[in-house]
Structure 1
Amino acid sequence: MGKRAVARAANDNGEHGTSDLMLNAALRHFAEHGLGAARAAREKAEAAFFAGDRESYDWWLGVCRTLDRRLAASVERDTRPRRG
């Protein structure tokens, strides 16, 4: 007997909460910026953070996270309030 088929594709992002709207935005951003798209999204997120625009920060962080989860995690670490 063969192995049972996997219920979800390995690259299916559904379990990570990526909305269709965010995925569409990330793909459009990638089409515009190519391989530098995640870095461009990071720059936009950081600029929004330092401008005090939380809504734009969250949006661009989401785009960055969709394209590169590790890079987005570094943005979150860099913009986290410091304790001390």
Structure 2
Amino acid sequence: MSDNKHLTLDNRYDIQHSLDDGLSFKAIALNLGKDCSTISKEVKRHIIFEKKGAPYRPFNDCIHRFHCKHNASACQVCGSQH
């Protein structure tokens, strides 16, 4: 593995493009000469989730959304607005 501890901007671009190509963390780590845990931590630290809802319906990421009975009101279990 590599001696340097930081990822360069080029390394981060390589990670992004490799993930887009469907490569695993282990394959990306081998290509960059890093440990696979370094790659997974980098991805976890900088991941951005895109919140999308169905047309004309708000996004709902509540873990209870499939069996919750609180339609159009605040859920007491998770405190989210449905």
TM over 0.5: no
- Kindly name which structure, 1 or 2, has the bigger radius of gyration based on alpha carbons: 2
Identify, as 1 or 2, the structure richer in helix.
Answer: 1
Taking structure 2 as the reference length, what is the TM-score of the superposition?
Answer: 0.30
